[in-house]
């Protein structure tokens, strides 16, 4: 089953009237996950499809809201980053710091002087990253 059908089923939509709008949200979410989060998702993986459909459904239902992403989606996204691995993270700056900042820049890798670790603030969590073959990636354990 494709993501559009999953979203429509979850929302209880049976007509095609909103398909163009839903497809635009799906494309936007997919682009965000690949460009901003660096995730490479498998279209045939049902776990990936369900996450995308849940994320798209939340976006659709909260389009006029300024609320943050629900914790269950945040946890699932972080787990995807850890398990799938994120590559091609967008990094604009690398900064040496003694302590991690309270208000970090989204696209900055912070090199912590106390232990030499490379960290980014991804999905409201500090995440260890590394450069592999010229590409920033989330370190998976």
Cβ-Cβ contacts under 8 Å for 32 (sequence gap 6 or more): none
Please give the span between the terminal C-alpha atoms of the chain, in angstroms, as a whole number: 32
Per-residue pLDDT tens digits for 96-128 = 999 999 999 988 999 999 999 999 988 778 988
Tokens of 105: 């820049």
Cβ-Cβ contacts under 8 Å for 55 (sequence gap 6 or more): 29, 73, 77
**Burial zone of 78 (CB within 10 Å; 0-12 exposed, 13-18 middle, 19+ buried):** middle
Residue 125: name the closest of 3, 15, 37 by CA: 37
Per-residue pLDDT tens digits for 46-59 = 888 999 999 999 99
CA 119 – CA 128 distance, rounded (Å): 4
- pTM for this entry: 0.62
Per-residue pLDDT tens digits for 60-73 = 999 877 778 899 99
């Amino acid at each position: 089953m494709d993501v559009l059908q999953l979203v429509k089923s979850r929302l209880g939509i049976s007509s095609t009237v909103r398909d163009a709008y839903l497809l635009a949200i799906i494309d936007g979410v997919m682009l965000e996950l690949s460009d901003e989060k660096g995730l490479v998702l498998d279209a045939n993986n049902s776990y990936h499809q369900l996450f995308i459909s849940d994320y798209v459904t939340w976006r659709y239902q909260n389009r006029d809201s300024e609320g943050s992403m629900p914790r269950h989606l945040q946890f699932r996204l972080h787990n995807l980053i850890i398990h799938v691995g994120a590559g091609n993270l967008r990094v604009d700056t690398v900064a040496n710091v003694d302590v991690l900042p309270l208000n970090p820049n989204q696209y900055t890798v912070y090199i912590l002087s106390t232990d030499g670790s490379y960290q980014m603030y991804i999905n409201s969590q500090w995440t260890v990253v590394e450069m592999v073959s010229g590409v920033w990636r989330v370190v998976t354990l």
